[in-house]
Amino acid sequence: MDRAKSGWVSGFVGVLIFSGSLPATRVAVADFDPLFLTLARACIAGILGAALLLILRQNRPARADLAALGIVSMGVVIGFPLLTALALRHITSAHSIVFIGLLPLATAVFGVLRGGERPQPAFWVFSTLGGAMVAGFSLLQGFSASAAGDLLMVGAVLLCGLGYAEGATLARRLGGWQVISWALVLSVPVTGPLTLLTWPDSLSGIGTPAWLGLAYVSLFSMLIGFVFWYRGLALGGIAGVGQLQLLQPFLGLLWAAALLHETVGWSMIAATLAVIGCVAGAKRFAKPERAGVPLVPEVRTGTRS
């Protein structure tokens, strides 16, 4: 299999893993406090990431990269998991997945702000239309009976888009999976003690599904998914493989229906399709890279000398 095809396959595996995150989170928050769940998943993944970096003897990031790694940590390690966990106490995972349809667009917008890209005017047309679709759907659904849940999902998507954009830029220098591993490691001094402080008073009332949900979001959503995802971006190209995120709402809706037996109505499917169409149009008219920066970054697996 050539480099580009390998990237697309790896990217799809990453998206498939991510698509199960929201249903798994909803199962976990049934018994776990959202704050504990956020901290525990990051702490567990951080310990595993540190082991991976040590075993493969990866070079330490430069001091200049620490601020950017902090942004990645704030966006995808803490911000997105915490806000989605809080949101899923108010809305169903199927409804929340509609908002995930805006994630590729949020990543592109932050690529403009952080990377200096200059998309064509049509990009902003699709961007505005996509946002209007989500807002309209929320209003028609009565704001999911929870304005707080919808607003939390909007904040989660914005933070995750920022983390993805910053991580993609860093991956050109540090390597793909190394970015999420270092971001997780840097968060352990905070997430570790806070995990202990927020530890449940009793574990007797926590069911097996909640433990399985915690295991999934810790091992797969927080670490393994990013290994495949960033590898896919590095091998197949950020702009091309990044479009695989558009499949995530469809896959997530299937997870929600199959595992949680949630009702996925035609209006929700139609809204998801409309949002994905707008995101696809925006992506088409957005320049994927700055001048002089290669689309396909080098995959770094070098060891420490």
Domain annotation covers residue 34: yes
* Per-residue confidence band for 82, with pLDDT thresholds at 50, 70 and 90: confident
301 occurs within a structural domain: no
Q: Is residue 304 included in any domain, yes or no? A: no
| 161, part of any domain | yes
- In this structure, are residues 266 and 253 in contact, taking their beta carbons and an 8 Å threshold? no
From 255, 290, 239, select the one nearest 100 (Cα to Cα). 255
Report the candidate in 2, 20, 279, 18 with the shortest Cα–Cα distance to residue 132: 279
Q: What is the pLDDT of residue 8?
A: 79
Query: What's the number of domains the chain is made of?
Result: 1
Q: Contact 219/44 with Cβ under 8 angstroms?
A: yes
DSSP H helix total and E strand total for the chain:
15, 0
CA–CA gap between residue 222 and residue 181 (Å, rounded): 9
Contacts for 102 with CB less than 8 Å, ≥ 6 apart: 130, 131, 134, 157, 275, 279
The predicted structure's pLDDT at residue 297: 43
* Nearest partner of 123 among 131, 115, 180, 218, judged by Cα: 131
166: which 2 tokens? 């910053």
How would you write 25-37 as a 3-class SS string?
Answer: HHHHCCCCCHHHH
For 174-226, the pLDDT digits (tens) are: 877 899 999 999 999 999 999 999 999 888 889 999 999 999 999 999 999 98
Residue 182 lies in a domain: yes
Per-residue pLDDT tens digits for 7-66 = 878 888 998 998 888 788 888 988 999 889 989 999 999 999 999 999 988 888 888 899
Q: Are 220 and 247 in contact (CB under 8 A)?
A: no
- pTM for this entry: 0.77
Residue 39 forms part of a structural domain: yes
Please report whether residue 124 resides in a domain. Answer: yes
Contacts of 42 (CB under 8 A, 6+ apart): 77, 78, 81, 184, 187, 188, 191, 222
Rounded Cα distance, 267 and 34, in Å: 29
In a domain, residue 168? The reply is yes
pLDDT in tens, 99-113: 877 787 787 778 777
**Two structure tokens written together for 176:** 């793909």
| pLDDT given at position 51 | 94
Q: Which domain holds residue 115?
A: 3-200+207-284
pLDDT band at 304, cuts 50/70/90?
very low
Calculate the CA 162 to chain-centre distance. Answer: 10
CA angle (217 as vertex; 216, 220 as ends), nearest 5: 65
**Which residues are CB-neighbours of 136 under 8 A, at least 6 positions away?**
none
Range of lowest pLDDT (108-112, 149-153, 290-294): 290-294
Mean pLDDT, the chain, rounded, equals 80
* Contact (Cβ atoms closer than 8 angstroms) between residue 217 and residue 201: no
Question: Angle 10-11-17 (CA atoms, 0-180°, nearest 5)?
Answer: 95
Q: What does the alpha-carbon distance between residue 53 and residue 73 come to, in Å, rounded to a whole number?
A: 17
Q: Is-contact 299 234, C-beta < 8 A?
A: yes
* CA dist 60 → 65, 69, 79, 175, 224 (Å): 10, 12, 24, 12, 20
Per-residue model confidence (pLDDT) at position 71: 93
Pick from 133-137, 148-152, 298-302: least confident: 298-302
